Amino acid sequence: MPLAPRRLGFALSLLLLWTLGVAPSMRADLVWDTRTGWRVEGGAPVPFLDTPAGHTAKSLMDNARRAEDAGRAGTALSGYKRVFKKYPTSPFAAEALYRSGRLYENRRQYTKAFRNLQRVIVEHPAYPAFTEVLGSEYRIADKLVQGARPLYWGLIPGFKQRDKGLEFLEQIVTNAPYSEYAAISLMNVAAGYTRSGDRDGAIDALDRMINNYPDSFLTPDAYLKLAAAQASITQGPAYDQASTQLALTYFQDYTILYPGEADVTIANKGFDSARALLAESKMTMGDFYYKKRSNYKAAKVFYNEAITTYPDSPTAERARRYLAAIEKIESGEDTAEGAARGGPRAKRFWIF
């Protein structure tokens, strides 16, 4: 993730904490009353409300809310839009953006909904319902990742926008990296990338999840998913085993960090499978030097590594037999038994 969004998210989080904690006297909440309409409670006096513009803004907000309650979403959206466009710094602007975002979500106009909710976070970080805004953003992103189809103009079904959902989830992590929604958003990003076949994207999201949120209740699951993703990369013993080594590390970390978890058996099985693949890879290299190059020194190194990697495996037993055959060859014993085990025959020289 680029550095700038990280800093922006951090700054927004600090500003939110300061606004909600250090300076509570500056907060002013909008309260809806079905008889008198919107009113401001708490905080410092708001001179804007006593001006003609303030009266107009309140009237627009009152009418929009009554239209919303009556089920006339189009009229409500029009009213809220006039408020946040014409009076963007008024105490009504954030509420108008938030409520319009919720209405757009209900109409399945997800991009417009998220855009307005995002404006609340960026332009009005002191908005009292900040957590509710994040929740709405998360809900929209999750719907898209799960395959929900948007409605254009609230009427015409559109195409699935899973990529847009992943983009929205990443935005939530940037918006509030220390909120309850950050860790679960990253887990859903990983799931989304896995579903689309982007293994690298999934691994990156899971890695960020583990490193940034080690105390989250989702972290054990992230360890298992990351280990499984790394284990799935290697195509076989003859290929590079860097991902297998990483899988071993993550499976082992899981068993050490979460010994009481219900999935520890799965982690142990994954660990043994990764060890078996790594040991077989060492065996493949040993066979190459033993059978194809008669390089006994190199072969012994790899056979011993196969034994060390998984001492109790059938692969280790086979490595021990080849080591014994090499020992006989090196001691000068050229037996048929060594050849039967797959080792190279001692070289013979013929004089004609």
> What residue ranges do the domains of the chain occupy?
1-212
Q: What pLDDT sits at residue 224?
A: 96
* pLDDT score, position 27: 59
CATH for 1-212, options being 3.30.990.10, 1.25.40.10, 3.40.50.300, 3.40.630.30: 1.25.40.10
Report the percent of the chain where pLDDT is more than 90. Answer: 75
- Please give the share of the chain, as a percent, with pLDDT higher than 70: 86
Per-residue pLDDT, 5: 46
Quick one: 349 exposed, middle or buried, by C-beta within 10 A (0-12, 13-18, 19+)? exposed
Burial of 139 (0-12, 13-18, 19+ CB in 10 A): middle
Here the tokens at position 325 are: 């055959």
φ/ψ (deg, to 5) at 149: -95, 130
pLDDT, tens only, 269-320: 999 999 999 999 999 999 999 999 999 999 999 999 999 999 999 999 999 9
What pairs with residue 151 in β-bridges? 157
